[in-house]
Structure 1
Amino acid sequence: MSTPDSMTRTGISDAEFFRLRDFIHKQCGINLSVSKKILMESRLHKRLSALKLDTYTAYCNYVMSPAGLDSELVHMIDCIATNKTDFYREPGHFQFMTDVVIPEWLNAKVPHKPFKVWSSACSSGEEPYTIAMVLQDLAVRHGFDYRILATDISTKIVQQAIEAVYPESAAIPIPIEVKKRYLLRSKVTTPPTVRIVPQLRAKVQFRRLNLMDTVLDVDKDFDLVFCRNLLIYFDRATQERVLQKLASKLKPGGYLFIGHSESIYAMNLPLQQVRPTVFQRV
């Protein structure tokens, strides 16, 4: 009988790849091209080893079974999902938040209501913590409260975000004065690391969430939703379904930010474009 380690020799068959690709698309919306076959094989190989399965067909059968859906699906998604992000990525969004979104909200502020943001594909946390840095400075200046929900489909990456520890090199895009206020530098790790200060960590609630779920169990009155550089992994129909759900969670007048390589042109959405990649709920 073959062993899991022998899978690197036999590889995943076309039939097994297409079966898993269709399953992944149905479960989490990720659209894998045929060019990703070797990537899928290499990333799932360790799951076969962990489960002591001999073939990718056996893995397909297991992950699609009731037991596999309950216990293995999350691990498979952790292996397949790509998580690439940076602090202060696409900085124009944070400037727009500072110059337009917060002033508008302050002018129409409901007493005692916090400003609410949802980072819907938060990856390892750089985006929601950047949001927190920007909002904390504004909150101190203008005297308001805020809340940030950060979600991602990967359990592993959400746990990493909760820990909020990053290589010191990852903090390069953060302005020096902001670093001084909101980062703690480790004196013992090699290479050196930084950690987000407890004050900001307390402002961000992290949860695992699959945007493909029929019902998204989140609030319906967000002032601002970030969904940047996620749509590129979906086909057009999936993009529109996900955006319809996100838009339904925005309060009227709230804003949606998408990535600069993404477009929602000609989609049936209750959104109007304000600037490139910036949309407002109508």
Structure 2
Amino acid sequence: MSMPATAMTDGNAAVAGMNGPSLSDADFNFLRTFVYEHCGISLGEHKRQLVQGRLVRRLRALKLRDFGAYCEVLRRDPQAELGELASAISTNVTAFFRESHHFDLLTNELLPRWIAEKKNGGRLRIWSAGCATGEEPYTLAMVLAEALEKHGSHVDAKILATDLSPQALETARKGVYPIDRLEGVSVERRRRWFLRGEGDYDQYACVHPRLRELVSILPLNLLHDWPMQGPFDAIFCRNVVIYFDKPTKQRLFQRYAGLLPEGGYLFLGHSESMYGLNDNFDLIGRTVYRKRSA
């Protein structure tokens, strides 16, 4: 919980925290600049209390006395703390089969077509960019595994899942979720693709080894260099660009276009749009874009 702004002894306005150090103007401005340059996330003044409240936990974890000391950590070694910072200030809201119409399109149209086209040695690749705690890539793995069984299992098919947050990636790698997180998964799929825990873990479920085989989980900052060269048949970047300003979105969409072949698909979140940001794509469904022919 935060309290109203008060005057600090150094003359800077600050938001005083009831249970922790306050965030001065100078430290907040440094954090805003740092986060924008390294994560592409634009923090307005209205985010000040949120930043203070969430970063207090990092101060405690690192045993730092105040936000000034935390800013010094970022100055000395930006990369070491970057993932933790990004995780703290962003909201990783996700779910299995979230925005189910995207997975219906994959199941009913795209995966059967791709598998048929690639039976003679082609590669099928999907990228979950901003995979958070793993629900999205494992949902992709479910529909992919089912399509391979139905239409041809001898296709080289893989899913790349990336995120900046160390905590989110750790959860994704474990693939263990509370039972109530499986709400969007049908009873049939729960039985097929999850292993129920026992004893102290009876309220948890672990993803099936077959899904793990299909998914590679790696750390990646979308603003930095990308080691993969593609091409990807589809890129899922849902509920990620909502944090970015217009120039950052434009650069990101252009980079995605470079990793998609003609006719490749880009999936965005329900509150996101590419309107006026890139002319390489056509909108063909609800937040579904297809790369145009040259």
Q: Does 1:78 align with 2:87?
A: yes
Q: Of 254, 262, 265, which residue of structure 2 is paired with 1:252? A: 262
Q: Of 58, 76, 79, which residue of structure 2 is paired with 1:47? A: 58
Q: Of 167, 188, 193, which residue of structure 1 is paired with 2:199? A: 188
Which amino acid is 2:196 matched to?
R
CA RMSD of aligned residues (A): 1.8
Match of 2:109 in 1: 100
TM-score (norm 1): 0.91
State how far apart, in whole Å, the 2-side matches of 1:242 and 1:8 are: 39
Alignment of 1:42-191 (within 5 A): 42-65=53-76, 68-109=77-118, 111-144=120-153, 145=155, 146-189=157-200
CA shift, 1:36, in A, is 1.9
Number of residue pairs the alignment of both structures matches: 274
CA shift, 1:7, in A, is 8.2
Match of 2:248 in 1: 238
**What percentage of residue pairs aligned between the two structures are identical?**
38
Alignment of 1:200-219 (within 5 A): 200-213=211-224, 215-219=225-229
Instruction: Single out whichever of 104-113 and 220-229 deviates more from structure 2.
Output: 104-113
CA shift, 1:191, in A, is 6.7
SS of match in other structure, 2:125: strand
Contact 2:129 2:235 in 1 (8 A): yes
Q: Of 1, 23, 30, which residue of structure 1 is paired with 2:34? A: 23
Instruction: Single out whichever of 138-147 and 120-129 deviates more from structure 2.
Output: 138-147
Instruction: Single out whichever of 149-158 and 239-248 deviates more from structure 2.
Output: 239-248
CA distances 1:104-144 after superposition (whole Å, capped 9, x unpaired): 32443361223211000100000000011111111000113
The 1:106–1:204 alpha-carbon spacing in structure 2 relative to 1, beyond 3 Å, is closer
SS of match in other structure, 2:261: strand
Contact 1:167 1:191 in 2 (8 A): no
Q: Of 255, 277, 281, which residue of structure 2 is paired with 1:271? A: 281
Q: Does 1:33 align with 2:44?
A: yes
CA shift, 1:39, in A, is 1.8
SS of match in other structure, 1:257: strand
Structure 2: state its 5+ residue gaps. Answer: 1-16
State how far apart, in whole Å, the 2-side matches of 1:78 and 1:167 are: 21
The 1:270–1:56 alpha-carbon spacing in structure 2 relative to 1, beyond 3 Å, is same
Structure 1: state its 5+ residue gaps. Answer: 1-5
State how far apart, in whole Å, the 2-side matches of 1:76 and 1:103 are: 41
Runs of 4+ in 1 over 3 A off after TM superposition: 6-10
Instruction: Single out whichever of 82-91 and 7-16 deviates more from structure 2.
Output: 7-16
Higher relative contact order by CA 8 Å / sep ≥ 6: 1 or 2? 1
Contact 1:81 1:154 in 2 (8 A): no
Q: Does 1:221 align with 2:227?
A: no
Which amino acid is 2:104 matched to?
Q
Which amino acid is 1:211 matched to?
L
Instruction: Single out whichever of 125-134 and 26-35 deviates more from structure 2.
Output: 26-35
The 1:100–1:267 alpha-carbon spacing in structure 2 relative to 1, beyond 3 Å, is same
SS of match in other structure, 1:222: coil
Which amino acid is 2:60 matched to?
S
Match of 1:3 in 2: none
Which amino acid is 2:81 matched to?
E
State how far apart, in whole Å, the 2-side matches of 1:203 and 1:106 are: 15
